[in-house]
């Protein structure tokens, strides 16, 4: 069950220079109460600040390419007249483990694999 769209923490200093973490959670409006319950049940927090935000999302399409024993995933994103293709991070990890590559080299290889399958779009 995915309640939050994203979450992250930031190291901060509180009053009297005490170290702490600020937890930031992005969720849909109808999930706020559920997120608050999770935070209060699993942390020592005694208060939550809520700030509504808006989000702009680009049109995207998911592309899957079979390569050896792997199912590689890419996001194809469009903005105005431009189109960009991004390999999914998990695909880079999978390819890295399968072929013994660094993550950087795996990303480069993912771009090559995409180009071999969709050369007219690069």
pLDDT band at 121 (very low <50, low <70, confident <90, very high): low
- Does a structural domain hold residue 122? no
Same-domain status, 8 and 51: yes
Nearest partner of 117 among 79, 77, 71, judged by Cα: 71
Cα separation of 68 and 108, whole Å?
17
Please tell me whether residues 78 and 104 are part of one structural domain. Answer: yes
Asked whether residue 50 falls in the same domain as residue 1, the answer is yes
Regarding whether 65 and 50 lie in a shared domain, the answer is no
* Cα atoms found within 13 Å of the Cα of residue 77, Cβ hemisphere only: 11
Residue 122: pLDDT above 70?
no
Pair 33, 67 in one domain: no
Q: What average pLDDT does the segment 2-7 reach?
A: 92
Same domain, 1 and 48: yes
Same domain, 74 and 92: yes
Q: In the prediction, which pLDDT does 7 show?
A: 96
Q: In this predicted structure, what is the pLDDT of residue 117?
A: 85
Q: Are strands 70-79 and 59-67 parallel, antiparallel or unpaired?
A: antiparallel
Residues 40 and 75 in one domain: no
> Percentage of residues in the chain with pLDDT exceeding 90?
88
Would 90 be classed as within a structural domain?
Answer: yes
More confident residue, 46 or 117: 46
Rounded to whole angstroms, what are the CA distances from 53 to 23, 27, 32, 50?
16, 10, 13, 10
Domain shared by 36 and 65, yes or no: no
Return the DSSP state at 46: -
pLDDT band at 2 (very low <50, low <70, confident <90, very high): confident
What stretches of the chain adopt beta strand conformation (E)? 4-13, 19-27, 59-67, 70-79, 82-87
Q: Supply the range of the domain harboring residue 8.
A: 1-55
């Amino acid at each position: 069950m995915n309640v939050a769209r994203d979450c992250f923490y930031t190291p901060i200093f509180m009053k009297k220079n005490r170290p702490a973490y600020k937890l930031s959670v992005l969720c849909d409006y109808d999930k706020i109460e559920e997120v608050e319950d999770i935070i209060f049940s699993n942390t020592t927090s005694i208060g939550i600040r809520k700030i509504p935000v808006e989000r702009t999302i680009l049109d995207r399409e998911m592309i899957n390419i079979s390569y050896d024993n792997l199912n590689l995933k890419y996001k194809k994103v469009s903005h105005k007249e431009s189109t960009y293709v991004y390999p999914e991070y998990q695909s880079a990890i999978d390819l890295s483990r399968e072929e013994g590559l660094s993550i950087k080299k795996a990303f480069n290889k993912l771009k090559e694999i995409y180009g071999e399958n969709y050369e007219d779009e690069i």
